[in-house]
Amino acid sequence: MHVAEAGTGPLVLLLHGFPELWYSWRHQLPVLAAAGYHAVAPDLRGHGRTQAPVDVEDYGMAAHVADAVGVLDALGESTAVLVGHDWGASTAWAAAELHPERFTAVAAPSVPDRPRSPRPPLTELRSFAGDRFNWMLYFQEPGVAEADLSADVARTMRLMMYGLSGDAGDTGVRMVTGLPRDAVLLDQMPEPEAPAAWLTETDLAYYVDEYERTGFTGGLNRYRNADLDWELLPELGTGVIAQPALFVGGDLDTAVRFADPNRMRNHIPNLTGPIVLPGAGHWIQQERSDEVNHALLTFLRTVD
């Protein structure tokens, strides 16, 4: 496992999402270090410079939670504060629920925690989607999304980063609710008129170089375990997360719009927030790094 780290002090473990890398935390690492924390951001399994298992089943939630625990063990730490974005947020919530003795607090930009669904997640999604396009369902068939996303990695990263950001306005909502089932995902995303202030050409090039080398299968295999996770971890999403918790989201993020984060209070009694930033999209710790850093540091001080 490849990790980027900065600083010394109490451990803060940062888990990225898809299609991201440790690099999505580039604005948080130095700030956390300067505040007296040991900030560690790994490339998750199958991403960047971390080993990529071959089997789809090796990308399930149990494996990702075990990786998070394994980082603590490798660093000789008994506990950490866990911060996750996108799929990393889902892993952070799961790890906090399954291993409260190791993760003393949890923060999740963008993706709220959700209770266990009554039916397997893909069944729920097919019912929700009907005759509309759905990302999760599109990602299920091995090889299909890989071919689309890998055809032009620079275009893929440019469109996905822009299309789900606050810069694109309601584009993300249209892609979730307004596309026909047979839509070609990238063809529905608008081209940015200019480089984003939060994502320079150098930033974009880092992502492009890494995904051109590795492909997208590692990240896509995470989606392909949704139903298996539901079967193998029946306790997940059924208990209370008692640790201090923080949620920060953007009001233009579809993950916030379609899952009211206020409902988390029912099973996360020590929740700070939800903090919802106007005009922010899905890549919130990159788009609005100053505000996210302020929220994280304020939260960490209360945990200390």
Q: Which pTM was predicted?
A: 0.96
Distance from C-alpha of 47 to C-alpha of 249, rounded to nearest angstrom: 24
Q: Say if residue 156's pLDDT is above 90.
A: yes
- Lowest pLDDT segment from 80-94, 160-174, 268-282: 160-174
pLDDT at res. 260 = 85
Which of the four pLDDT bands, split at 50, 70 and 90, describes residue 254? Answer: confident
Q: Say if residue 170's pLDDT is above 90.
A: no
190 secondary structure, DSSP code: P
Neighbours of 301 (CB within 10 A): 9
Which of the four pLDDT bands, split at 50, 70 and 90, describes residue 6? Answer: very high
Q: Say if residue 184's pLDDT is above 90.
A: no
Tell me what percent of the residues of the chain surpass a pLDDT of 70: 98
Identify the helix (H) or strand (E) that includes residue 146: helix 144-150
Q: Say if residue 173's pLDDT is above 70.
A: no
CATH of the domain at 137: 3.40.50.1820
Question: E-assigned strands of the chain?
Answer: 3-6, 11-15, 38-42, 80-84, 103-109, 245-250, 271-277
Which of the four pLDDT bands, split at 50, 70 and 90, describes residue 177? Answer: low
Neighbours of 158 (CB within 10 A): 22
Count structural domains, the chain. Answer: 1
Distance from C-alpha of 288 to C-alpha of 292, rounded to nearest angstrom: 6
pLDDT at res. 222 = 97
Distance from C-alpha of 268 to C-alpha of 50, rounded to nearest angstrom: 32
**Phi first, then psi: what are they for 121, rounded to 5°?**
-55, -40
Whether residue 108 contacts residue 93, with contact meaning beta carbons closer than 8 Å, is answered with yes
Q: Say if residue 176's pLDDT is above 70.
A: no
Q: Say if residue 195's pLDDT is above 90.
A: no
Token pair for 5: 């780290």
**Within its chain, how far is the Cα of 63 from the centroid?**
16
Average pLDDT, the chain: 94
Distance from C-alpha of 151 to C-alpha of 106, rounded to nearest angstrom: 37
Distance from C-alpha of 208 to C-alpha of 157, rounded to nearest angstrom: 7
Token pair for 12: 């803060």
Among all residues, which ones are annotated catalytic?
86, 282
Distance from C-alpha of 64 to C-alpha of 66, rounded to nearest angstrom: 5
193 vs 198: which has the higher pLDDT: 198
Which of the four pLDDT bands, split at 50, 70 and 90, describes residue 180? Answer: confident
What is the average pLDDT across 125-142? 90
Q: Which domain holds residue 281?
A: 3-303
* Residue 99 amino acid letter: H
pLDDT at res. 300 = 98
What is the average pLDDT across 182-201? 87
Do strands 80-84 and 245-250 pair parallel, antiparallel, or not at all (unpaired)? unpaired
pLDDT at res. 174 = 67
DSSP 67-89: HHHHHHHHHT-S-EEEEE-THHH
Query: Any idea of the CA torsion for 137, 280, 295, 264, to the nearest 10 degrees?
Result: -40
Token pair for 50: 């971390």
* Residues 58-111: tens digit of each pLDDT: 999 999 999 999 999 999 999 999 999 999 999 999 999 999 999 999 999 999
Q: Say if residue 171's pLDDT is above 80.
A: no
270 secondary structure, DSSP code: T
Neighbours of 212 (CB within 10 A): 14
* Residues 146-155: tens digit of each pLDDT: 999 999 999 9
Residues in contact with 251: Cβ distance below 8 Å, sequence separation at least 6, in sequence order: 257, 276, 277, 278, 279, 280
